[in-house]
Amino acid sequence: MSQSLSARAHARIIGMILSQQLPPGAALQEEKLADWLDMSRTPVREALKRIEAEGLARKDGRFLRVRQLTMAEVREIFTLRAALEGFGARQAVHLPRARLDEMAGRVQALLRTGESEEQRRVDDDFHAMIARASGNATLERTIADLRLRTCMFDIHQVPERFAQGCGEHLGILDALAAGDAGLAEDRMVAHLRNAGAAVLGRLETLEAERTT
């Protein structure tokens, strides 16, 4: 089996999870997904194994289901992200001004046009750019994994974070452009604490709705 076919199946299933086409609790059925993706079952099976290993789905009887993160997991992940990405931001002050300006332009364009599919791409690219600038491949991989575990909830369930998050991104970019490592770190930590608090608030609301 082509490794690229399995990777493509993985990317497309993750996209369905991120877009809520496969919401938390949805069964990830190999045969049905293979039909949707117009693929054989083998690459889909390999993709589902990887998704389970990444903690985005879990066994529930006969089925593998998309996981709903618990409040404890969200709190732990955002605490760890704040520490790691804050450190990464401190290391990223050497990023070229042209690169920072390009990213700032993309964020500003989002604010002008409103929420769109481009939001997730810009958010992913922003955090990946800063993590990569640390020069630490292990840090970059760890941050990417932690982001994957949280962004599927944050993007769709906390819409009020859109404008706030964009503003925080611009503040981080300003600190990096000024060469202020400490301020860049502080702003990244605050950004992730705010995001975590918003997600936790939404989880509390969902839990209250389920129990009433």
> Residues 82-116: pLDDT tens digits?
999 999 999 999 999 999 999 999 999 999 987 66
The pTM score is 0.79
Question: Which CATH number is associated with domain 3-66?
Answer: 1.10.10.10
Question: Do 124 and 176 touch, CB atoms closer than 8 A?
Answer: no
In angstroms, the CA 34 to CA 20 distance is 18
Q: At what angle do helices 97-113 and 118-133 cross, to 10 degrees?
A: 160
Yes or no: is domain 71-210 CATH 1.10.10.2160? Answer: no
Q: How far apart are the first and last CA of the chain?
A: 49
Question: Do 163 and 194 touch, CB atoms closer than 8 A?
Answer: no
Which H or E element spans position 105? helix 97-113
Residue 1 pLDDT exceeds 50: no
> Residues 117-172: pLDDT tens digits?
688 889 999 999 999 999 999 999 999 999 988 766 655 567 888 899 999 999 99
Per-residue pLDDT, 159: 81
Look at strands 57-60 and 63-66 and give their pairing.
antiparallel
- Residue ranges, comma separated, of all CATH 1.10.10.10 domains in the chain are 3-66
